Amino acid sequence: MRLAFLGTADFAVPGLDRLSASTHTVAGVVTVPDKPAGRGRKPRPSPVKVRALELGLPVLHPERLRDPAFLRTLESWRADCFIVVAFRILPPEVFRLPSKGTVNLHASLLPRYRGAAPIRWALMNGETETGVTTFLIDAHVDTGDLLLQSRVPILPDDDAGTLHDKLAACGAELLLETVDGLESGVLRPVPQRGEPTPAPKILPEHGRIDWSRPAGEILCQIRAFSPGPGAFTEWQGHRMKLFGASVQIQDTAVHREPGTILKTGQDGILVQAGSEWLRVRSVQIEGRKRMDAGAFLRGADLKAGQRFG
């Protein structure tokens, strides 16, 4: 089958690789325009564009998806199906073009976690399982008929980085299975069923730690924001990001104010979280690099009795 691939982020690259190596033909790739980045603010291509050029594929990066010249070029590729992974919301003029429809890969088990940040919200909510879904795009976000799904367990040591990579790899295989099924005609779309849950765009304040919450919930938040942008608290007027945490079994019935630092040492920083304890093993103070808590403590005046805010 002849395909056009539309994507932007790292999450889309394994899918592009898998389809390009298959018996199907990727006629071209659509991505976002290069964006200024780094200290020099030089234009930087998207990960998908970088990989597409390495594969020798034609690349389009339109400013406007309704631009007539873009639509004419896209149509000239004569793709039977469009594949969309981590891209923009498509107008009908685009997603209605191919005869086999436009397939989207989403990093959740739809209808759960519809929206821009399904991986982070699954972790934030303490889910033990998630997955990937292929579906046909319609006029609304993440509501189209389902094609295939694949389940992926969320392990206790998973964070947003590790889960992202697992789902991207799993999604690449699911995309190929989906395209094979559409080509053979054995795959039949089915409506989404069940109660949808939202996964809206992550905002900076979603990363702020509320120490009155249970330690397990704060741990989920830290995992959801690792390896970046980092869940954060305040210490001596500075923003501090926390990583590598674990819930600590209490060895005393004494409770302090939430956010109170109970103990510091080479094994981390022990903090009162709700009525429980949380041990933090890695930190990053604003303006500095992330480091092991023990190394940070050797050069910082952080000690028991102080509070995170």
Domains defined for the chain, CATH in brackets = 2-184 (3.40.50.12230), 204-298 (3.10.25.10)
Whether residue 253 is predicted with pLDDT greater than 70 in this model: the reply is no
Please give the torsion angle defined by the CA atoms of residues 38, 44, 48 and 49, in that order, rounded to the nearest 10 degrees. Answer: -170
The token duo for 125 is 């909510």
pLDDT of residue 38: 72
Average pLDDT, the chain: 95
Split at pLDDT 50, 70, 90, the class of 50 is: very high
pLDDT of residue 187: 96
What is the mean predicted confidence (pLDDT) over 122-126? Answer: 97
Report the DSSP beta bridge partners of residue 219. Answer: none
DSSP string, 253-265: S----TTBEEEEE
Nearest Cα residue to 215 out of 160, 255, 158, 264: 255
Nearest Cα residue to 12 out of 40, 49, 37, 43: 49
Whether residue 94 is predicted with pLDDT greater than 90 in this model: the reply is yes
Q: Which helix (H) or strand (E) holds 3?
A: strand 2-7
pLDDT of residue 224: 98
- How large is the C-alpha radius of gyration of the chain? 23
201: number of Cβ within 10 Å: 9
What is the mean predicted confidence (pLDDT) over 19-46? Answer: 91
Nearest Cα residue to 263 out of 288, 233, 208, 251: 251
pLDDT of residue 249: 83
Q: What is the spatial distance between Cα 241 and Cα 305, in angstroms, rounded to a whole number?
A: 19
Q: Kindly report, residue by residue over 134-151, the tens digit of the pLDDT.
A: 999 999 999 999 999 999
pLDDT of residue 40: 72
List Cβ neighbours of 23 (8 Å cut-off, separation of 6 or more): none
Whether residue 37 is predicted with pLDDT greater than 80 in this model: the reply is no
The token duo for 225 is 């924001």
- What single DSSP character describes residue 210? -
pLDDT of residue 160: 98
Size of the chain in residues? 309
CA atoms within 13 A on the CB side of 24: 29
Q: What is the spatial distance between Cα 55 and Cα 20, in angstroms, rounded to a whole number?
A: 8
Split at pLDDT 50, 70, 90, the class of 35 is: confident
pLDDT of residue 264: 94
Q: Kindly report, residue by residue over 191-219, the tens digit of the pLDDT.
A: 999 999 999 999 999 999 999 999 999 99
